[in-house]
Structure 1
Amino acid sequence: MPTLSEVARHAGVTPATVSNVLRNRGRVGEATRQRVLEAVDALGYRPHLAARALAEGRAPTLALMVSSIANPFYPEFALAVERAARTSGHFVIICNTNEDPVTGRAYLDQIAGTLSEGVLVTNANLELADLHVTESRGTPVVLCMWERPDDPPGLPCVAVDFRLAGELAGKHLLELGHRRIGAIVGSKASGVHATRYEGFVDALRAAGVRRNRVRHAADTIHGGYTAARALLEADPQLTAIFATNDLPALGAMHAAADLGLAVPGDLSVVGITDIQLARESRPALTTVAVPTVEVAGLAVSLLRELIESSYGQNARGKTKVPMRVSSAPQLVVRASSGTPRSR
């Protein structure tokens, strides 16, 4: 593999000039710039990112921490992050914690500040205290998809009003005429999906519906399947199921099919997020879409601002922690919801 020095000799310039051209820094004449770029192409030179990070004390990469790359939401979000990061010349390292906080802390210790200039964190099963430690060491951290805009986490974040998302789902089912509605929460009672369920309950209470059946389950298709079967076996008269995420909602539709129930004729199903599978399922899933691409762009932009301002090095002296709030979630009505019929 050719080196920076070999490119410099081929172009008849200094290594510093080659570096300035590649990083678009300093004053370099157009003729010299073209000569360097031609030498790069002729030799097939590619920058050594690790060496650059060591030499400059900063890496041209951002770390994105996710809880499970097997969950289709995270590849979709990662793609949006990667596209946003490329506009500033950054690469993205995906750190899959596999829902293990020990693995997450290991990533923070080994990558933050060395292989990456900053860290984006989705639901990665990490304690806020761990992220504060990373920030205190000089590496900016941004929480993506923070679910409580009215309750800031004390770290820079991009927030989405997921309580509103749950409320919109509940109102949609109520407006269709449903009153016997089950709920599947894709986390523990105090987990990350609690806010979504609270919004759903708010909608029901406002309509005078005081009781609904609920099951907590894994945020997976299988988790939704198991929970939906339990709900329908406990109350066969349910006419609708709300799930706090699209995967459990898809699992609920599978359960309905196995029980001989038509969706939406016998059972309406509504989720939250609007992943690609929601659009491609049959019937297509009614869901409350969150602005995934917008959140990715806001998160990358905020992280870049923090990197340029050395926020991580001075975070303790800050009086206000930045938070960006995305546009509101939007109900997307598809084929999985309809008016109830008695069974």
Structure 2
Amino acid sequence: MSSSTEGLERPVGINEVAARAGVSRATVSNVLNRPHRVAEATRRRVEEAVRELDYVRNSSGRSLRSGRADAVGLFVLDITNPFFTEVARGIEDEAAESGRAVILLNSAERSGRQRRSARMLAEQRAAGAVVMPVDDDLSDLFWLRRRGVPWVLLDHGGTGEATGCGVSVDNRAGGLAVGRHLIGLGHERIAFLSGPFAVRQCRDRLAGLRAACAESGLDPDAVIRLIEVPMLNAGSGERAAEKVLGGAARPGAVFCANDQLALGLLKGLGERGLRAPGDLSVVGYDDVDAAALVHPGLTTVAQPKYDLGRAAMRLLGDELDDPGHRHLRCRFTPELVVRGSTAARRGT
């Protein structure tokens, strides 16, 4: 395992920018904060030096005055998903015990927003971050680490020495459990309702479903119909009902990549006079509170959300407190929760 200090660079300061541009510190400050006071040629020279050195302005003075020098960022994919509420609670509880505050950053499943959030944390000289990445491109996060801001990956399979610490759930095992459950009920036509396939969790859950088909002697390509929607939210699930019901061979069951999609799908089916499990068996993933409150209750895969958050923040805290910290990986095993939204295929 590699030391947490490997790959970190001392952030470029205003003195280096001033030297590169051949101007004073005051001139650089004016370009950054009051550009109208600087002659155009000088301003362009300073701006070029900023780009060449990849300088990030230091807003830590303002952070210190507000008592947030020990703030850490939390990147989530969708702030409206209650899954992240419970994860965030675990992170905040763990952070509070060490006197740290948490800044919530919503990427909304968009890489551009993730990139802007990383830049903001660097400008604020945040202590560190817990990140659920939008996709497998971690270049923004490596940029952040090189600026002296370490991070821990949350619920992302690409953890290890190369990327630092990580806390994840075995999503393939979760998909495998769903597949075994549905196949055991006699379902041989299963739709997988997925969010953007760039999201690793979606791919891993589908891989588990495919593995369940293979171990049962079924051809995954013949059993599974993939339906991809742009967002992992209830609205996308509701609108997907039309796609699920379309085509010559209607599936007998739908495995949704998360509970938000599943709850939305149940609503979309209800609007068309259909119900689970009589017309379609429906499975979600995450076990949010609403999964047990709807009728019938939603069969889903429970993740240890709160423990996931606490473990991630504990790893980040260890790295911040111990210069000799070694990167670790922590993986949880999810659990299938069977409720009333799934039943045996009619005729079996």
- Structure 1 and Structure 2 fold alike (TM over 0.5): yes
Q: TM-score, structure 1 length as denominator? A: 0.75
- 1:1-20 CA-to-partner distances (Å, cap 9, x unmatched) read xxxxxxxxxxxxxxxxxxxx
Give the C-alpha shift of residue 103 in structure 1: 2.7
Is 1:187 aligned to residue 172 of structure 2?
no
Stretch of structure 1 that moved more, 229-238 or 204-213: 229-238
Distance in 2 (CA, whole Å) between partners of 1:195 and 1:322 is 21
Is 1:337 aligned to residue 342 of structure 2?
yes
Determine the structure 2 residue equivalent to 1:93. 103
The runs of 5 or more residues in structure 1 that have no matched partner are 1-49, 312-317
Is 1:219 aligned to residue 232 of structure 2?
yes
Superposed counterparts of 1:84-163, under 5 Å: 84-112=94-122, 114=124, 116-124=126-134, 127-147=137-157, 154-163=163-172
Superposed counterparts of 1:199-278, under 5 Å: 199-210=208-219, 211=222, 212-217=224-229, 218-235=231-248, 237-278=250-291
Stretch of structure 1 that moved more, 103-112 or 211-220: 103-112
Is 1:82 aligned to residue 92 of structure 2?
yes
Stretch of structure 1 that moved more, 196-205 or 121-130: 121-130
Distance in 2 (CA, whole Å) between partners of 1:173 and 1:257 is 21
Distance in 2 (CA, whole Å) between partners of 1:172 and 1:269 is 11
Give the C-alpha shift of residue 117 in structure 1: 1.0
Give the C-alpha shift of residue 281 in structure 1: 2.0
- In the alignment, is the contact (CA less than 8 A) between 1:289 and 1:332 conserved in 2? yes
Change (3 A) 1:122 1:62: same
Distance in 2 (CA, whole Å) between partners of 1:216 and 1:291 is 26
Q: Secondary structure at the match of 1:272?
A: coil
Give the C-alpha shift of residue 191 in structure 1: 4.9
The runs of 5 or more residues in structure 2 that have no matched partner are 1-59
Q: TM-score, structure 2 length as denominator? A: 0.74
- 1:173-192 CA-to-partner distances (Å, cap 9, x unmatched) read 11122222111112226754
Determine the structure 2 residue equivalent to 1:322. 328
- 1:25-69 CA-to-partner distances (Å, cap 9, x unmatched) read xxxxxxxxxxxxxxxxxxxxxxxxx769548x9823221011221
Q: Taking CA–CA contacts closer than 8 Å with sequence separation of 6 or more, which of the two structures ends up with the larger relative contact order?
A: 2
Question: CA RMSD, aligned part only?
Answer: 2.8
Percent identity, aligned pairs only, is 33
- In the alignment, is the contact (CA less than 8 A) between 1:141 and 1:155 conserved in 2? yes
Distance in 2 (CA, whole Å) between partners of 1:92 and 1:193 is 27
Q: Secondary structure at the match of 2:284?
A: strand
Q: Secondary structure at the match of 1:297?
A: helix
Distance in 2 (CA, whole Å) between partners of 1:236 and 1:244 is 21
Letter in 2 for 1:286: T
Q: Secondary structure at the match of 1:193?
A: helix
Letter in 2 for 1:214: L
Q: Secondary structure at the match of 2:314?
A: helix
- In the alignment, is the contact (CA less than 8 A) between 2:136 and 2:198 conserved in 1? no
- In the alignment, is the contact (CA less than 8 A) between 1:144 and 1:157 conserved in 2? yes
Change (3 A) 1:248 1:109: same
Letter in 2 for 1:91: A
Alignment match of 1:286 (pick from 286, 299, 321): 299
- In the alignment, is the contact (CA less than 8 A) between 1:66 and 1:95 conserved in 2? yes
- 1:245-284 CA-to-partner distances (Å, cap 9, x unmatched) read 1111112222322232221122111111111221222221
Letter in 1 for 2:131: V
Distance in 1 (CA, whole Å) between partners of 2:105 and 2:199 is 25
Superposed counterparts of 1:8-19, under 5 Å: none
Distance in 2 (CA, whole Å) between partners of 1:132 and 1:102 is 15
Distance in 2 (CA, whole Å) between partners of 1:100 and 1:245 is 18
Distance in 2 (CA, whole Å) between partners of 1:71 and 1:304 is 25
Q: Secondary structure at the match of 1:159?
A: strand
Give the C-alpha shift of residue 71 in structure 1: 2.4
Letter in 2 for 1:94: L
Letter in 1 for 2:226: V
Q: Secondary structure at the match of 1:222?
A: helix
Q: Secondary structure at the match of 2:309?
A: helix
- In the alignment, is the contact (CA less than 8 A) between 1:148 and 1:163 conserved in 2? no
Give the C-alpha shift of residue 101 in structure 1: 2.5
- In the alignment, is the contact (CA less than 8 A) between 2:136 and 2:200 conserved in 1? no
Distance in 1 (CA, whole Å) between partners of 2:169 and 2:122 is 25
Distance in 2 (CA, whole Å) between partners of 1:279 and 1:201 is 27
